[in-house]
Amino acid sequence: MQDIGIGLVGGGYMGKAHAVAYSAVGAVFAPRLRPRLEMVAASSVESAERYRAAFGFRRAAQDWQALVADPAVDAVVIASPQATHRAIAEAAFALGKPVFCEKPLGASLEDAEALCAAAEASGVVNMIGFNYVRTPATQYARRLIAEGVIGDVTWFRGEHTEDFLADPEAPATWRTDGEANGTMGDLAPHMINAAQALLGPVESVMADIEIVHESRGDTPVTNDDQAHMLCRFAGGAMGHMFFSRIATGRKMGYIYEVNGTRGAIRFNQEDQNSLWLYKAEGPEAERGFRQILIGPAHPDYLAFCQGPGHGTGYQDQIIIEARDFLEAIADGANRWPSFKAGLDVAHVLDAARKSHSNGRWQPVVHT
């Protein structure tokens, strides 16, 4: 059992989630490398110190530069805003330190391209924070599709819908400003990643993107409230994706439906411990979507609980993610999803934005 010093940048929503994950992952998965919560950085040294005390890190950093450079920091976890991702990751790569970066991969397609290139050039382990595909149910859905259980896939429907800005009276914040913080920048990446994980590459898209509430208070809103797109997948399937932060009543509508020639799958993250599977086999009278309760027979569940149907939650995905990052470092080889997967998503977003501007189908660049 060898330990590894973790440096965490950011102590907000996701910073805390990673802090908990690196505290728990050792006991859950007994990975070869045991994380040591070495250092945390934030936007000020005071907040860094607050996070240190709360989460149990050894030291608070002056700033992220100090954290990245610190010799006791062996790997860097970036959980600060999108605009900061690129500089931090590039600095870490320059020192040969593995990087885990929260989604999206930087604030723009350019960032994503640069980050991917830097990662490859450095040769060190890199990973992007698409945590929802790690839910045991979605890992299992992916396997079912790959094994052909539902036959050839003909249709995909995905959405990522929440309602945190559904109220037109909700005030403007940083979330209502800047492309990278809109629905396409913030929510879409998770579901686009899922689509790619489940069906393979998206070939072309035709999108419609909308600012529904054009100002909040006196402040203009500069990014999209909802967006959707027609898709054509390289594998031949048709599809549709929808993203919204104004979907009243939806709290975590990470929802997908996949139709195949021999079966179908349905999933909703709001009930993340059920996967719905239909198999077109057996007597017609006995057919129906079955609610599979996730348990030890499904990927990465057993480490959390021996009993089926007892359930994993949001935080557990981040623990699985931490395990994967640690094991990738131990192997010295990337595990999916690396930065490359972040760039794949960025290309779809870019094509969607172009198609919205010009009102035409747009091919998606593949790299």
Q: Which helix (H) or strand (E) holds 348?
A: helix 339-358
Which does residue 295 touch among a second copy, ligand NAI, none (CB within 5 to 8 A, set by kind)?
a second copy
Nearer to ligand NAI by C-beta: 105 or 153? 105
Residues 188-217, interacting with a second copy (CB under 8 A): 206, 208, 210, 212
Site string for a second copy, 348-367 (x = CB under 8 A): -----------xxx------
Q: Does 55 participate in binding ligand NAI (rule CB under 6 A)?
A: no
Nearer to a second copy by C-beta: 35 or 89? 35
The answer to whether 120 and 343 are in contact (CB under 8 A) is no
Residues 157-186, interacting with ligand NAI (CB under 6 A): 186
Bridge partner list, 9: 41, 78
Q: Does 291 participate in binding a second copy (rule CB under 8 A)?
A: yes
In order, the DSSP letters of 215-283 are: EETTEEP-S-SEEEEEEEETTS-EEEEEEES--TT-SSEEEEEEEESSEEEEEEGGGTTEEEEEES-S-
Residue with tokens 């945390």: 40
Residues 8-27, interacting with a second copy (CB under 8 A): 13, 16-17, 19-20, 23-24, 26-27
CB atoms within 10 A of CB 286: 7
Which residue, 265, 271, 268, is CA-closest to 289?
Answer: 265
- In which order are the strands placed within the sheet that holds 75-78? 59-60, 33-41, 2-9, 75-78, 99-102, 126-129
Length of the chain: 367
Site for ligand NAI (CB under 6 A): which residue of 6, 7, 8, 15?
A: 15
Q: Does 183 participate in binding a second copy (rule CB under 8 A)?
A: no
Q: Does 32 participate in binding a second copy (rule CB under 8 A)?
A: no
Q: Is 238 left (phi over 0), alpha (psi -120 to 50) or beta?
A: beta
Site for a second copy (CB under 8 A): which residue of 108, 126, 181, 226?
A: 226
Residues 87-116, interacting with ligand NAI (CB under 6 A): 102-103
Q: Which residue is nearest to ligand NAI (CB)?
A: 12
Q: Does 131 participate in binding ligand NAI (rule CB under 6 A)?
A: yes
Binding residues for ligand NAI, rule CB under 6 A, total 22
Residues 229-258, interacting with a second copy (CB under 8 A): 229-230, 232, 238, 240, 242, 244, 246-253
Q: Does 5 participate in binding a second copy (rule CB under 8 A)?
A: no
